[in-house]
Amino acid sequence: MVGTARRGTDVDGVAGGVGVTALLVAAARAIETHRRDSLARDTYAEHFVRAAPASAGWPVRLDQVPEGDACPLWGRFARYFGLRTRVLDDFLLSSVGAGARQVVLLGAGLDARAFRLDWPDGCVVFEIDRDSVLAFKHGVLAGLSATPKATRVPVPVDLREDWVGALIDSGFDTSAPSVWLAEGLLFYLTGAAETYLIGMVDQLAPGGSALAFEVKLERDLAEYRDSPLYTATRDLIGIDLLDLFDKEPRPDSAGHLARRGWTTSVRTPFDFTREHGRGPLPEPNDALEGNRWVFAAKPPS
């Protein structure tokens, strides 16, 4: 099992802690969707935001934000999440284009990729998260009569429990190539939990598989306490991200995979801002300075 993880617990699964951060990302995706120069489209995102009491009053369009793009939260931070969505969408589609037909979303939250991306025939998308979160998502999508574009397999299990057994019991084939995604997840796990999770992906994924995840560089998070991104998030929606992030020393997961024979690439979000011509660029006292997106591929056996 993963071990101790700093994941929010609440009655309906989407009212506090990590549940509310999933709503934050959904609101950012909704705002991105309605931009004229959108990098990613998620027409389901605003419905998640409106369906949860905790976020029902949040903006889902930039014209609902008095400061517009000058707002650190709904401007710059939301654009960051929009950029991340686009980059990881491209990664997943590229990976299945190369032959993988199993997609595993670790801590899937309100990810609607099974419904909005154009998957090749035969793709199966496994969504691992707590039952309460998946039930909330299912309820919203069912109300919209949404139809997945791949075979969607919810795996209702907390990552602190036996998610490996639950995944295999749900039909995951350890002999077939797979693509894995841990989007906005590892910040909340202890170092030991992250090491376990990455190690299990290595064991479960045969040659020809791929993995993408997000990490922060080893730094004192307290130095970003006054970063505009974090202060705006606290002031506007009451989420203190620094209190949610695990404070333990972080493992070198990219290095671990490289030592296990994976090919790894570690990029900054700003790399993709320059590539796409849209997104955040470095600023003083920047909470995004230490963020890294890691892409790993396991060579065919």
Residues of the chain with pLDDT under 70: 1-18, 218-220
Give the separation between CA 274 and CA 288, rounded to whole angstroms: 15
* pLDDT for res 6: 41
pLDDT in tens, 91-117: 999 999 999 999 999 999 999 999 999
Q: What are phi and psi of 128, to 5 degrees?
A: -100, 120
Give the separation between CA 93 and CA 132, rounded to whole angstroms: 28
Task: Give 106's Cβ-side CA count (13 Å radius).
Answer: 29
* pLDDT for res 52: 95
pTM for this structure?
0.94
* pLDDT for res 34: 98
Average pLDDT, the chain: 92
Beta bridge partners of residue 89, listed in sequence order: none
Q: Cα torsion at 49, 50, 54, 59 (round to 10°)?
A: 70
* pLDDT for res 145: 97
Q: What are phi and psi of 216, to 5 degrees?
A: -115, 145
Pairing of strands 210-216, 291-297: antiparallel
* pLDDT for res 220: 66
Domains and CATH numbers, the chain: 18-297 (3.40.50.150)
* pLDDT for res 224: 83
Vertex 96: Cα angle to 19 and 216 (nearest 5): 45
Closest C-alpha to 156, from 127, 177, 136:
127
* pLDDT for res 3: 42
Give the separation between CA 111 and CA 271, rounded to whole angstroms: 24
